[in-house]
Amino acid sequence: MWHIKNDINKHYLQTFEREIILPYLQMISDVVTEIETGRINKPLQRIDIWKDTEIFTTATDDKKNLFVYIMEKTVSGKKLQDLFISMAERFDSIAVENIIKLYKEQNRHVYSGNYNFPLVQIDELFKDLFVVYFYNTFFADEYIWSTMVGERYNRKAFHRNFKSENKMVVCPYCDIDTAVTVSNNNIEHFLPKSKFPLIAMNPFNLLSSCIACNKADEGKGDRIPDYPILSPYNEMIGDFASFDVDFLSKKITLSNVGKTRHDNYFKFLKLYSRYSDPIVYECVDHAAQSLFETLSNYKAPSKSVIDLYIRRNQKMNNLSFALKSVISNYPEYNALK
């Protein structure tokens, strides 16, 4: 619901793309082309055939050492260079070029703020490359990041950068939960990496969210949204959420006052049902009563004072969109000037 940015992490993840993702894709393309032109015969006799590519032979010593390290990285008993060989033996140059084209196309869409592109089935080998190796393993590898950027970088650093840049501790997806501690944070993929693996490392498909928003039973899980859709990187979606309070039934009701893309967002995160939970009413009501009690100590509390207080503290208090929307329904508020 919150409009966010991710420029600090963008710097790191674009370095990862430049230093690892694009060179790897180019190396596999070069080897497949060599096979088709007859310069390399199948079955491949060397597991380190990638060392013969121009990308590797013209690299600096530091970059060569980095490639040796990642290619020998083992996940579930399988080295990345084993995956490389499997790709080289399975795909032709057209298939590889199509993957490279799709990778660039999907990431270009996300960078431009467009999340409304079709699902394309990706071969399991490329899914493993982007999800198992790049995202799950390399994201947390201290040697890789220290070699590329000269400092440590990991998921904790991602959360720290994200919170610092956005100056907020509430979940940007829902505004229901806070995300102060790392243990209540997920690096969340807006479009799920299981369906869109090629954008698994795109900074504008990643954000720090509360755990609930990332779970299938409470939040979005790995479902694909209905289109058209927008993400918190597009705009302040919370401005298109209206909240009604029923004091008799003790219930908060979220309504969409925006367009279809906003409605699809609220459905995607299951926010209509999550805001109707009685505990949400209790939390909002408690916040309202605490606010009235605090401001009663002012000599001349006013509606404008309350409104200003809510605006100034929104990013540090959960359920602030709901509180701001329903506060005018309270008799204590309407008794003020």
pLDDT (tens digit per residue) in 12-64: 999 999 999 999 999 999 999 999 999 999 888 899 999 999 999 999 999 99
Q: Burial-class residue 297 by CB neighbours within 10 Å (0-12, 13-18, 19+).
A: exposed
Separation between Cα atoms, residue 225 and residue 231, nearest integer Å: 11
Q: What is the pLDDT of residue 310?
A: 83
Separation between Cα atoms, residue 324 and residue 242, nearest integer Å: 10
Would strands 78-79 and 186-189 be described as parallel, antiparallel, or unpaired? unpaired
Q: What is the pLDDT of residue 182?
A: 64
The residue with tokens 């969109």 is 321
Whether the link from the prior residue into 232 is cis, omega within 30° of 0, is no
Q: What is the pLDDT of residue 58?
A: 97
Q: What is the pLDDT of residue 320?
A: 92
Q: What is the pLDDT of residue 168?
A: 86
Separation between Cα atoms, residue 332 and residue 307, nearest integer Å: 13
Residue among 6, 210, 17, 199 nearest 108 (CA): 199
Q: What is the pLDDT of residue 183?
A: 62
Count how many Cα atoms sit within 13 Å of the Cα of residue 115 in the half-sphere of its side chain. 24
Tell me the whole-structure pTM to 2 decimals.
Answer: 0.93
Q: What is the pLDDT along the chain (337 residues), one digit of tens a residue?
A: 999 999 999 999 999 999 999 999 999 999 999 999 999 998 888 999 999 999 999 999 999 999 999 999 999 999 999 999 999 999 999 999 999 999 999 999 999 999 999 999 999 999 999 999 999 999 999 999 999 999 999 999 999 999 999 998 899 999 998 776 666 678 899 999 999 999 999 999 999 999 999 999 999 999 999 999 999 999 999 999 999 999 999 999 999 999 999 999 999 999 999 999 999 999 999 999 998 888 777 767 788 888 888 888 777 789 999 999 999 999 988 888 8
- Contact at 8 Å (CB) between 198 and 107? yes
Residue among 45, 53, 47 nearest 74 (CA): 47
* Token output for 134: 């790049």
